[in-house]
Amino acid sequence: MENFKRYLTQNGAMTDERFEALYATLLVKRYDKGRILVRPGEVCKHSFFVESGLLRAYTITESGKTHIIQFAPENWIINDRSSAYFNEPTVLFVDAIEDTTAILLDNDFSCQLADINPAYTQHNELALHNHIRHQQMRINSLLGATAEERYLDFVRQYPDLTLRVPQWMIASYLGITPESLSRVRKELAKKHFSK
Amino acid sequence: MENFKRYLTQNGAMTDERFEALYATLLVKRYDKGRILVRPGEVCKHSFFVESGLLRAYTITESGKTHIIQFAPENWIINDRSSAYFNEPTVLFVDAIEDTTAILLDNDFSCQLADINPAYTQHNELALHNHIRHQQMRINSLLGATAEERYLDFVRQYPDLTLRVPQWMIASYLGITPESLSRVRKELAKKHFSK
DNA sequence: CGCGTGATTGAAACCCTTCAAGTTTAGTGG
DNA sequence: CCACTAAACTTGAAGGGTTTCAATCACGCG
């Protein structure tokens, strides 16, 4: 619960007692590596705050390709906002890349927070805007950058994940094949070595 | 102002008098086709509600390629949410594809609305979630779909824009070259004809 | 009419994928 | 702790889809 507590108290809008009371109402679950938490067709009832471990959200096309939408290491929240907010069935899978402890947040959790302290309304809005900004950068990169550029961006942005996540998943996140990523890395190593 | 009024009164949270009072405080501007409204480096002070006409947001890379992030026909709002919300310089251009009348909304406009009626807080949240859902679908499409699939999706989703927007801009939105889009359309016409 | 912009077409080059084979790494049970 | 197996990663060759560059065509507008 340490990470979650830090996440909620960082802006000073939460006392220890209030946190304890709130935390007591929440469900905390542990998922083994490989466990699937959400499947397409389900209506998302909650999001997952990752206390420890690593989750991922992805789609599988009719042709069997998987597209990774998001990784969620410690302190990240993952879910299908569309499904949760609009009460529609999701199109996403969510599964555990590592053994993971997650805190389940009901869809009205942000309202609960706002009741405790109105400052959390802004907290929530900030999270939404961050999400949008992040997605926009990704769209921009997918629109024009080469595989090599996209990989370098990924390494810069998520140096931690680069080491924790299997390479073929990074490839899937970047929208290229594992073989292509392998070759990209080979080229990069060559360049780096000749300098 | 008709479109804007409909946009604000559709959920019944606004009276005519209130709308008149609010509208009187807003700036309405007319932009000729080709006019640039926002340039990279500026900090976005407001968003644009398109009353009539058509705006577009795009980036230009160092290599000179333009990537279209968004089209905004009537009743759409366009801006760089990141820049507006975080007070950072934007990386986007915004310009007018057609002669356009737009209503300028200050960054605190959603707060003004919330003051009039708290229901607008949800209105705003819904807009944010729609934005996120839309971006996620686009990411998913860019990750795996072929040029042809992406074009068909575009036509389905924006039949109106398909006719109003020059082809090379659609290509830029889809992340392909104008030449490729021309060939894709040729193939599609062939298939359609042989049926 | 002539100019400029947008759309088309062709040929060559390029990037990435696909498929198939190896090699390495990591996890499991003896 | 080693041996074995499966998964992950690498490498090669062939193929496909897009891009690039260049030329041509179509059209609207001053």
B73-121, pLDDT tens digit by residue? 999 999 998 899 899 999 999 999 999 999 999 989 988 998 888 888 8
Residue B34 CB coordination number (10 Å): 10
The structure tokens listed for A138 are: 């990704």
A113-160, pLDDT tens digit by residue? 988 888 888 888 888 999 999 999 999 999 989 999 999 999 999 999
Residues of B with CB under 8 A from a CB of A: 59, 61, 65, 67, 69, 81-82, 85-86, 121, 125-126, 128-129, 131-133, 135-136, 138-140, 142-144, 175
Name residues of chain B where pLDDT drops below 70.
Answer: 193-195
The structure tokens listed for B26 are: 């807003």
The pTM (predicted TM-score) of the whole model is: 0.93
Closest listed residue to residue B175, CA positions, set B48, B58, B12? B58
Which of the pair, A62 or B170, is modelled with greater confidence?
B170
Is residue A70 over pLDDT 60? yes
Q: Identify the band that residue A193 occupies on the pLDDT scale cut at 50, 70 and 90.
A: low
A48-59, pLDDT tens digit by residue? 999 999 999 999
**How confident is the model at residue B193, as a pLDDT?**
64
Which domains does chain B show, CATH number per domain? 2-117 (2.60.120.10)
Is residue A12 over pLDDT 80? no
B189: left (phi over 0), alpha (psi -120 to 50) or beta: alpha
Positions on chain D within 7 A of a protein C-beta: 8-13, 17-22
Give, to the nearest 10 degrees, the angle between helix A147-157 and helix A119-144.
Answer: 150
> Using the beta-carbon criterion (under 8 Å), do B125 and A128 form an inter-chain contact?
yes
Gap between the Cα atoms of B146 and B150, Å rounded: 6
**How confident is the model at residue B56, as a pLDDT?**
96
